[in-house]
Amino acid sequence: MPCGAKPDFSYELIRSARRTVSVEVTREETVVVRAPQRMPRAEIEMFLKRHRDWILQKLEHQHRLAQRYPEPDEEEAEELKRRAREYLPQRVAYYAAVMHVEPAWVKITSARKRFGSCGPENGLCFAWRLMRYPAAAIDYVVVHELAHIVHKNHSRAFYGLIAQVLPDYRERAALLKN
């Protein structure tokens, strides 16, 4: 890209009271640039020029993911939600008993960026999209979130607890990446 040239991809610019520039390539194949309020556009575009190869690589990666794993249509989404409401609370109850923990609640969400979470009050949330994965991967996410009731971090003790319940947890976690 010649000096001063505009990038060969479009981007959304969000200005805020931050001090640095960041770039994110979303699942929707959108380039989002966050920049300080007063940073000149030319400086932002120089940043994009320096990171052009990385941005194009990430755009291609997100495009391949979208092709390989398209968003479910409305009917499929409803079926996944139904299965999640039925299946996940059962798995949570089973593993909660094994681990001697008690979640405050179990909620099914439409989260896109995470499969599960454990809140400060020990409430568990699971994305219905998790139901597209094998049972072994789903159980890993359930045990992972239940372990956060005991350990609010990703320490050695946290993974030690997971390993006590699922000795093959690394293989199960890898299923979420494929």
Q: What is the pLDDT of residues 104-160, one digit of tens each?
A: 999 999 998 899 999 999 999 999 999 999 999 999 999 999 999 999 999 999 999
What the chain holds in terms of domains, given with CATH numbers, is 12-68 (no CATH), 74-175 (3.30.2010.10)
Q: What is the pLDDT of residues 83-93, one digit of tens each?
A: 999 999 999 99
What pLDDT score does 51 carry?
96
Return the axis-axis angle of helices 41-50 and 52-68, rounded to nearest 10°.
70
Question: For residues 175 and 136, is the Cβ–Cβ distance under 8 A?
Answer: yes
Band (pLDDT 50/70/90 cuts) for residue 1 is: very low
Instruction: Report the range of poorest mean pLDDT among 63-72, 74-83, 93-102.
Output: 63-72
Mean pLDDT, to the nearest integer, of 61-66?
89
- DSSP SS3 for 16: strand
Average pLDDT, the chain: 94
Which residue's structure tokens are 């499969």? Answer: 115
Both structure tokens of 163: 């390993």
pLDDT reading at 28 higher than 90: no
How far are the Cα atoms of 83, 94, 103, 163 from residue 150, in angstroms, in the given order?
Answer: 28, 17, 10, 14
- How many alpha carbons fall within 13 Å on the CB side of residue 134? 10
Mean pLDDT, to the nearest integer, of 69-88?
94
What pLDDT score does 5 carry?
57
**Model pTM?**
0.74
CA distance 163 to 174: 15
What pLDDT score does 6 carry?
66
CA distance 127 to 80: 10
